[in-house]
Copies of this chain bind each other. A is one copy, B any other.
């Protein structure tokens, strides 16, 4: 039996500790290939590179091939891996481990999730893994959970077009409260640009922001992860706003004939 092929990627770049820990965690489950950006590509959303060429460099660690570095976005890495670099179509795409949560509306900006989005667009079961802290340096808990998830994913599968978005709380020392399967929340960041003056006296703006919790109820990724649960949210890109179709059909624009 052919071993599963697992594509590992991220948005923090191939040299980031998180992707090394992710590779370690999934190694026992199949043939693992790493294809990742050559440097940080955070908050790139689902960007792809169409106006410039992509380059690929082999990254060697301890005399062995660690993976391929691409001068592109996470979505570029998945596209290029699937169509050019891997020996066959991957069975799983897994992206991370990202420092900083990717919950609620952050998901739309996230490079980590974008790699998994590209995976599901290509018809491959895909996972994004984030830890809700920028200061996190211990990955044992995350690795243990990833192993537990991989086992189930390979055994049970997920529907075509679904990605699993995993967020892990930063409370490793105290232990976690448990694992929740929950909805993708609608919380967002309130923008707070700082208006500053540079050393030459010119104005510039820098994007900051305050977390704005999801307002619907407690069954969502960003409320639960801050309560101390590991949260797994199934995400699909069925973007049609079904409830808006009917009222729109009554607009007089439908009579327009140029």
Give the residue name and chain of the B residue nearest to A113 (CB).
B239
Question: Is the pair A257, B159 in contact by a Cβ cutoff of 8 Å?
Answer: no
**A31 beta carbon closer than 8 Å to chain B:** no
Closest approach, in angstroms, between the C-beta of A252 and any C-beta of chain B? 6
Question: Is the pair B121, A205 in contact by a Cβ cutoff of 8 Å?
Answer: no
At the interface, is chain A mostly helix, strand, loop or mixed? mixed
Question: Is the pair B178, A257 in contact by a Cβ cutoff of 8 Å?
Answer: yes
**A45 beta carbon closer than 8 Å to chain B:** yes
Known pairs A43-B48, A109-B47; A236 contacts B233 (CB<8 A): no
Most buried by B among A109, A114, A152: A109
Known pairs A45-B75, A205-B54, A234-B241; A156 contacts B247 (CB<8 A): yes
**Residue in B42, B202, B237, B254 whose beta carbon sits within 8 Å of that of A55 in the complex:** B202
Convert A164-190 into 0s and 1s, putting 1 for each residue whose CB lies closer than 8 angstroms to a CB of B: 100000001001101111011000100
Give the residue name and chain of the B residue nearest to A230 (CB).
B256
Question: Is the pair A56, B203 in contact by a Cβ cutoff of 8 Å?
Answer: yes
**A192 beta carbon closer than 8 Å to chain B:** yes
Question: Is the pair B43, A49 in contact by a Cβ cutoff of 8 Å?
Answer: yes
Q: Interface segment, A22-30, A59-67, A76-84, A90-98? A: A76-84
Known pairs A83-B193, A205-B53; A245 contacts B183 (CB<8 A): yes
Question: Contact size class for A?
Answer: 35 or more
Question: Is the pair B79, A108 in contact by a Cβ cutoff of 8 Å?
Answer: no
Q: Interface segment, A2-10, A129-137, A142-150? A: A142-150
Contacts of A161 in B (CB 8 A): 241
Give the residue name and chain of the B residue nearest to A172 (CB).
B258
Contacts of A181 in B (CB 8 A): 245, 248-249, 251, 254
Contacts of A196 in B (CB 8 A): 53
Question: Is the pair B43, A45 in contact by a Cβ cutoff of 8 Å?
Answer: no
Question: Is the pair B152, A207 in contact by a Cβ cutoff of 8 Å?
Answer: no
Contacts of A223 in B (CB 8 A): none
Question: Is the pair B184, A240 in contact by a Cβ cutoff of 8 Å?
Answer: yes
Bound-complex Cα distance A27 to B76 (A): 38
**A107 beta carbon closer than 8 Å to chain B:** yes
